Amino acid sequence: MNNEQLIARLARDALDESVEHLPWRVTHRLATAREAALARLPAEARAAVPAAAALGHGQVVVAAAAGGPQPPSHRGKRRHFGLGLAAIVVPVLVVAGVLYAISEWDSRLRADDIADVDAAVLVDEVPISAYADRGFGVFLRNVTRGERE
């Protein structure tokens, strides 16, 4: 078997395998086009075409044997579609819920920190105008250095 025949056989096998996954509408159009092409062939050329090659494989063969193309059952596909949708929606909702909870927790921590600072300012003996003074920042830095040493 030479390389061309090997490549042709591999391509045919891949196409035969993938025809099972085609939608019914596509297989119906392919079967109709195949029948029209065979009808245009002369009688001796039609006799040379093997039956399997004339009908194809997979769903097209089953549809032709059953008296024409028929839509496949979609019962299992609907169930898988629901599971697939749930597999996408549920994790997205969980992530969104976790992000919302983290945001709320962070907001409460910030509010608590601001409330603590406000309470410390109101209870402190230093007048509020001292906090607006430029020298107050220098004073705080000097005080914190003295506490460290």
* Residue 20: DSSP 8-state: G
pLDDT digits (tens, 9 = 90+) for 83-111: 888 889 999 999 999 999 999 999 999 99
Average pLDDT rounded to a whole number, residues 109-130: 83
Tokens coding 21 = 């996954």
Q: Which of residues 106 and 75 earns the better pLDDT score?
A: 106
pLDDT score of 79: 57
pLDDT digits (tens, 9 = 90+) for 44-62: 776 776 654 544 444 444 4
Task: Compute the distance between CA of residue 60 and CA of residue 54 in angstroms, rounded to an integer.
Answer: 10
Are the C-beta atoms of 34 and 55 separated by less than 8 Å?
yes
pLDDT score of 90: 93
- Cα distances (Å, whole numbers) of residue 130 to 61, 121, 124: 92, 11, 11
- pTM, entire model: 0.35
